[in-house]
Structure 1
Amino acid sequence: MSQTHVDDKVLGDEYEHDPVPLSKRRSTFSVSMVWLGFPMIITGAMTGSILVAGMGFQSALLAMIVGNLLMFAYVGSLGALGTARGHNFALLASASFGKKGYVFASGLLSTLLLGWYAVQTGITGNLMHTAFKFDYLTMTIAAGVLYLGITFVGIRGLHWIGMVSVPLFVVLGGWVALHSAGAAGWDKVLSYAGTQPALPMSFGIGLTIVVALFIDAGTVTADFNRWAADRKSSLIATACAFPVANLVAMLVGGVMTAALALPQPQPFGLDNMFGYLLAQNAPWLAVVAFVFLLCNLGSVCAHCLYNSAVGWSRIGNGRMRVFAVVLAAVGIAIAAANVWALFIPWLSLLGILVPPIGAILIADLYFVRPGAAIGADWRPRAFIAWGVGSLAAYATETMAPQLSTAVAAFIAAGACYFVLHIGSGAPVAAAAPSIKN
């Protein structure tokens, strides 16, 4: 039996190189579960803790709300493009950056997401070692292989891990937030000023942190939303992630941090909801926490590996599942070597390169050339705008850190693309994408 036959009849075709046919699209519930299971994770709670510790609860809450609404607009727009065409991100990028030029955009994002797979797998091993004294190497490799198994199933695997992970997070995260806040008092939580109230984190930096957490995965949203049946279904699924799931996750960590008011909280240690569950000293709760951690981080790892494998399979002209195995081996090796923490600043720095990509796709395929097909090998205007957006992000990061790097990059890239197009004398025509197959 051929690999293609197995994919089509047993596991399902992942349509790495072609549009997803309308007959193969999934229900609104299914695509929503795929998205719910991605940002509703312990890492999101850790991010909420960092924001509240740095900004104070009320300022952090505002940054979370604004950031998630911006993500809904950004991811929702890109997701609708994927739904309309049935294309994954690599195919969309081929229209805007060129048949050869797309490799740079898709390769960057696919590599970033592989890096996050390695980081999350390393976090799994580290937390298991810290909490239960399990061997770090053994737990990291075992977790990485488990997460690969979920990815190997394909879009169905992401649906089913979401079905397990999301209810667990809602129940356990909700209990952690309510229990910690109830013990400290909600007035204390709401008035919490952060660990350094005299020198708080600026709103712009907080907004960038919220956006940057999922800007890479949000940019390749077409990998997921191409499975939606129509635009309404696509937008509902996106809203389940941003603002709902991401905001819930951040609030769990933020409320807990404000309630505990630790002088120097360590969210990536045990000063998080996982550590809070273990601190109750109940054996049964420790078992639940163990299962929760594997399912929860398994969800985000499987999503990141899926995005990475879809992107590289397009570049390498192969099958998603083959690339998933190869890429997982690389990610597990990085995590097992216990150097995953070194990648976090690097991955965050490269994040300044990501928002311009999405801005260019939105400007090009919604306003400048709606309905444009994959044509030229290279599209220089897209690369010029990408460079301008990234330079604007770098300038903001170094000279005006109080502002949002991600927002500056998006605006600069989109504006540059428009200027280049108008300067060429070509007309600008807005048109909402229609479903094609």
Structure 2
Amino acid sequence: MSTGSTDPGATPVADADHVLGEEYEHVPVPQAARRSLFSMVTVWAGFPMIITGAMTGSILVLGMGFARALVAMIIGNLIMLAYVGALGLSATLSGMNFALIASRVFGTKGYALASGLLSTLLLGWFAVQTGITGALISTTYGLNYVAMTIVAGLLYIAITFIGVRGLHLIGLVSVPFFFVLGLFVVFHSASTSSLDAIWNYAGNNGVATMSMGVGLTVVVALFIDAGTVTADFNRWAKTGTHSLIATFSAFPVSNLVAMLVGGIMTAALAVPDANPFGADNMFGYINSLQIGWLSALAFLFLYINLGSVCSHCLYNAATGWSRILGSRMRLLAIVLGIIGIAVAAGNVWAFFIQWLSLLGVVVPPIGMILLVEAYLLKPGVTVEREWRTTPFISWAIGSAAGFVVEFYAPHLSTAISAGLVAAVAHLALSTLRDRSPAPGLSA
């Protein structure tokens, strides 16, 4: 099937579609093209089992102490399981990507705002993770930051260009690689301490400064963007059961494993004023041992591991923008990837925490509105109108609530508050609205 731009420049991409397989940017994935359970698990498991997740686990433990951070990790991941699992199941039943589903909720033109925002944020994540790759390689081995960032970005573009099969292949390599090195870091660092000391670790310099609400926001916000556009992945699942199992492999399994690696290492070493985004992470710890072959392995690991999350994010961004622009995923992967590399070279990864804060406010309302539509309102299969105002109002209300919590009740979870308020608002407004259809359009 050939869909997308008629521009002559798209011909090589069309040839790639023929060789590598159709990506179904504009139509639902047919059952015959759906992928196996094993493939879906590797796609999802390879996404959150990354060094950035370990860094996040370290941040949680530094801010909350180990025991409270563990509670936040578990609860946050269970929330993500419910949220992503429900969105993914809906996508599996329809076979549609996020942009196609959003066009039914926000309108055939209105969806571009939601899809464009999420796709752009995911492109930002691609730039952030690519920048982290270049920065860690540069500071550890004394290599040129810009050169290492470009090498990383081009590699990640190549993986994304292959399509969903590429996500499967990188997950197939990345997951066992992380698991083995993660176990090594956990046991090696824990050998310098005791289980009691790790469990009772109270936080950075013995002080816990992060509330449970903020901790939950950090856990949820780490993958809330990609979790909201989970339809881009779960539309490939053959059955609803496969979809839920694949989601479970990511949340809580892979994400929790990654966070625990960083959290246990941080609590065991108890380094004062540790900097997880500097040298105080599993990559820095491995290299600090000054074992030649292990450092070489860590170099390879970093590129492969962050290549997994980068290729997933770029895939989401390219899928979303290809739908909006009427183009192809592979063409947009190249274009957006180059833009992401250029942004990464400017050290944008340093704004990681600011990204988490932004995502925690504006993204959860979108996913919760989609869930209300799919499971409570059930609008059917007809596309309604070009613009639907109720979802946008609900989105604004939820985001506003998130900002209020951020500034006036910082001890609560911004992400959860924004999502729940948006869901309640959308259900209430949809119940109250005049359902009379406009001429020639369904309500």
The answer to whether the superposition gives a TM-score over 0.5 is: yes
Is structure 2 residue 128 aligned with structure 1 residue 128? no
Residue equivalent to 1:76: 85
Amino acid at match of 1:161: I
Kindly provide the CA deviation profile for residues 276-303 of structure 1, in whole angstroms up to 9, marking residues without a partner as x.
1111111000111011000000111000
**8 A contact 2:127–2:343 mirrored in 1:** yes
Shift of the 296–32 alpha-carbon distance from structure 1 to 2, 3 Å rule, reads same
CA distance in 2 between counterparts of 1:346 and 1:208 reads 12
Q: Give 1:207's match in structure 2, choosing from 194, 210, 216.
A: 216
CA distance in 2 between counterparts of 1:25 and 1:226 reads 8
CA distance in 2 between counterparts of 1:5 and 1:312 reads 17
Secondary structure in 2 matching 1:45: helix
Is structure 2 residue 220 aligned with structure 1 residue 225? no
Q: Give 1:252's match in structure 2, choosing from 261, 267, 275.
A: 261
Q: Give 2:246's match in structure 1, choosing from 233, 237, 242.
A: 237
User: Structure 2 matches for 1:49-68, cutoff 5 A?
Assistant: 49-68=58-77
**8 A contact 2:62–2:208 mirrored in 1:** no
Residue equivalent to 2:441: none
Amino acid at match of 1:279: S
Secondary structure in 2 matching 1:371: coil
CA distance in 1 between counterparts of 2:207 and 2:169 reads 46
Q: Give 2:412's match in structure 1, choosing from 390, 399, 403.
A: 403
Residue equivalent to 2:122: 113
Q: Give 1:268's match in structure 2, choosing from 264, 277, 300.
A: 277
State the shift of 1:78 in Å: 0.5
**8 A contact 2:192–2:269 mirrored in 1:** no
CA distance in 2 between counterparts of 1:292 and 1:307 reads 23
**8 A contact 1:17–1:91 mirrored in 2:** yes
CA distance in 1 between counterparts of 2:23 and 2:29 reads 8
TM-score between the two structures when normalised by the length of structure 2: 0.94
Kindly provide the CA deviation profile for residues 35-70 of structure 1, in whole angstroms up to 9, marking residues without a partner as x.
001000000000000000000000000000000000
State the shift of 1:343 in Å: 6.2
Residue equivalent to 1:17: 26
Q: Which runs of 5+ in 2 are unaligned?
A: 1-9, 437-443
- RMSD across aligned C-alpha pairs, in angstroms? 1.5
- The farther-off stretch of 135-144 and 336-345 is 336-345
Residue equivalent to 2:168: 159
**8 A contact 1:119–1:344 mirrored in 2:** no
Amino acid at match of 1:281: Q
State the shift of 1:93 in Å: 0.5
**8 A contact 1:393–1:405 mirrored in 2:** yes
Q: Which runs of 5+ in 1 are unaligned?
A: 428-437
CA distance in 2 between counterparts of 1:340 and 1:5 reads 33
State the shift of 1:366 in Å: 1.2
**8 A contact 1:115–1:347 mirrored in 2:** no
How many residue pairs get matched?
Answer: 427
Residue equivalent to 2:180: 171
Q: Give 2:286's match in structure 1, choosing from 240, 264, 277.
A: 277
Identity of aligned residues (%): 60
CA distance in 1 between counterparts of 2:208 and 2:171 reads 39
Q: Give 1:86's match in structure 2, choosing from 95, 107, 123.
A: 95
- The farther-off stretch of 347-356 and 228-237 is 347-356
Residue equivalent to 2:45: 36
Q: Give 1:390's match in structure 2, choosing from 386, 394, 399.
A: 399
Is structure 2 residue 106 aligned with structure 1 residue 97? yes
Amino acid at match of 1:407: I
Residue equivalent to 2:6: none
Residue equivalent to 2:4: none
Q: Give 1:300's match in structure 2, choosing from 309, 312, 333.
A: 309
State the shift of 1:346 in Å: 4.5
**8 A contact 2:99–2:111 mirrored in 1:** yes
**8 A contact 1:26–1:227 mirrored in 2:** yes
TM-score between the two structures when normalised by the length of structure 1: 0.95
Shift of the 344–190 alpha-carbon distance from structure 1 to 2, 3 Å rule, reads closer
CA distance in 1 between counterparts of 2:305 and 2:269 reads 23
